[in-house]
Structure 1
Amino acid sequence: MRIPSITVAHRGFSITVPELILAPGEVLGIFGKSGSGKTSYLHKIRTLFPPTHVHYMSQFDGLFEEITIRQNIEIGLAAGGKTYAEFHDWEKQFAEILSAFEVDRHISKYPGAMSGGQRKRAEIVRSLIMNPNVLLLDEPFLGIGHLFETICTDEILKRRDGTGVTIVVSHDFDLLCSFSDRIILIDEKGVVGFMPTNDPNWKPQNVRTAWTLGIDNVIPSSALQQLTTANIANPPNGNFLAFWSSSASWEHGEQMSILVPKEKIQSIHTALRHGTLSTRVEIDVAETNEPLVLVGKGEIDPELKEQTLGIASTWTLTA
């Protein structure tokens, strides 16, 4: 399935998501901070397909208050293009999923007589029973509890056996990784990158990706002296700096970024002058006892302020 490149205007900025080719049954996750345009992107996708081929489940309550849960589900089936012959006995066909989400015991109730979690589960069941070609789920796990999170992810994974695609927005990164085939990482500047969930060795290749994933202990830096793979891997004291980069070496003054284990942050001394880019980062490899991590090429953050995180002297990097 092809989803063309989409530009979304959102809260004074715009993001562009490149063209996507989704395989039959693929589950695509979307992750990013609040306000980065994820929901607006789902709205744009919804407009690309006939109404009978796509279903969008909002993160907000979408049940009709004046009719029962049974009728809400039946309206969804009709909106999805199902004929009476196809869904007249849907309660028997989908008894298992109704029971799993405990919606069967509320099937005759009106939404106003149900709790927020019960209403959310009824919406999830309606979305899954509709089984559209394109299923868009916006924060489906909010408020349903851990048990039903597991049931919901299992039901989403069952869609892999079909031809339809599923796109899920969630703030729960670990949960997204548990069922998505790949994840789009988005920030307020646009698409940061794509993360495959089937590669245990995948690591962020730049500062922006690390920050999007919540890795905030990244220090933008540049080399005072040429650093090669060899002398980074084997410093004189026997400790070592590991790194994530395809580059074999860094020239004098070339930008890089260092990812420091948070528990080792006291091994770093940082002195920053206000209004300048003369950031000085000194790393004592001998004090860490664990590898520090060099993360690709980074950018200087002008918002950094003067601070001291510790005392160190062995390796000296500056920006």
Structure 2
Amino acid sequence: MSSDVTPTSTPVKTTGLHVGDAEPGCRKVDPILIADGVKRTFGGLTAVDVAHVEVPRGAITALIGPNGAGKTTFFNLLTGFDKPDAGTWEFDGRSLAHVPAYRVARMGLIRTFQLTKALGLLSVLDNMMLGAKGQTGENLFRSVLPFLWRKQDDEIEAKALEILARFKLEAKKDDYAASLSGGQRKLLEMARALMSDPTLVMLDEPMAGVNPALTESLLDHILDLKSQGMTVLFVEHDMHMVRHIADWVIVMAEGKIVAEGPPQNVMQDPAVIDAYLGAHHDTDLGATDTGHVEALKELIDDEQ
């Protein structure tokens, strides 16, 4: 998706995120997520081979790269939805190796998916309430004793309604999640992530399949996550969106980190240009990544 929509609120760029030169694997002043030697192969294909990467705390970091670069696979490894062949990684000083996805979420690292995971046959409000952690009523014994969990349940519902109002979904609270549009499901998934009070929110292509009418709303909500003290790591193909809201950009190609830095610098990095254009030298630019390539060209021209 390519769009000229810009967020209504202007992002405040974070400075001093890294130590030394902005290069692949550079150290961050205050990293919240660190990965070392993470590798994942499928047969003879190496999907992820990340030597070292750190995600800065309190910033919005974009993870970009051409199709097949390994971005979603890397997301899956970091969040416990897949297992690497090798490597170590930690979140907020705690190792995530061999930690299942549900425990990762309880630690404060929440992720969304490119294809939304809303439970279609539950209401929007029920989907939200499921996102809250530490619910007393989830215990089999306590669940049959309403006086043990009723107050907490009321508090969770109130919190869910407050967040739905912020995302302008309160009118849909009693509708089945399956009845929502693609963009509304993206909003619901992001809203549900906030029910667990996360420290780090990882968004896998939050703009994919979203119509322009909701794009600006999603952008503003991503910026709002940062203003509330959360760290954001997101995968995105729309270079215009990356430039407008990202404080830091990490570029993947063929499973490796090939560049890092502020958006305005990364867009002109020869390694990034090669990652997007190199694979197309002998192919028709009308293929899969044409929009991403053209957007990158436009941004390079703008910066020059």
TM-score by length of 1: 0.58
Partners of 1:119 and 1:155 in 2: CA distance? 14
Matching of residue 50 in structure 1 with residue 104 in structure 2: yes
Question: Which of 142, 151, 156 is matched with 2:217 structurally?
Answer: 151
Please identify which structure carries the higher strand content.
1
Unaligned runs of 5+ in 1: 219-261, 263-292, 294-319
Matching of residue 89 in structure 1 with residue 143 in structure 2: no
TM-score by length of 2: 0.61
Q: CA deviation at 1:145?
A: 1.8
Tell me the SS of whatever aligns to 1:3.
strand
- Describe how 1:124-135 pairs up with structure 2 within 5 A: 124-135=190-201
1:155-208 deviations in Å (ceiling 9; x for gaps): 2112223443211001112212211111111111511111312xx4666343x3
Show the counterpart of 1:209. 272
Question: Which of 113, 127, 146 is matched with 2:179 structurally?
Answer: 113
Partners of 1:105 and 1:6 in 2: CA distance? 47
1:122-176 deviations in Å (ceiling 9; x for gaps): 2232224544112111011112222322221212112223443211001112212
- Describe how 1:283-302 pairs up with structure 2 within 5 A: none
The answer to which structure, 1 or 2, has the higher relative contact order (CA under 8 A, 6+ apart) is 2
CA 131–179 in structure 1, closer or farther in 2 if over 3 Å, else same = farther
- Describe how 1:233-312 pairs up with structure 2 within 5 A: none
Tell me the SS of whatever aligns to 2:272.
helix
Show the counterpart of 1:7. 38
Tell me the SS of whatever aligns to 1:171.
coil
Partners of 1:71 and 1:187 in 2: CA distance? 39
Show the counterpart of 2:130. 75
Show the counterpart of 1:98. 167
In the comparison of the two structures, how many residue pairs are matched?
214
Please identify which structure carries the higher helix content.
2
Unaligned runs of 5+ in 2: 1-31, 81-95, 97-102, 137-151, 282-296, 298-303
Q: Please identify the structure whose Cα radius of gyration is greater.
A: 1
Identity of aligned residues (%): 20
Question: Which of 123, 134, 142 is matched with 2:189 structurally?
Answer: 123
Partners of 1:87 and 1:212 in 2: CA distance? 45
Partners of 1:80 and 1:186 in 2: CA distance? 38
Q: CA deviation at 1:213?
A: 4.2
Partners of 2:265 and 2:35 in 1: CA distance? 30
Partners of 2:280 and 2:71 in 1: CA distance? 25
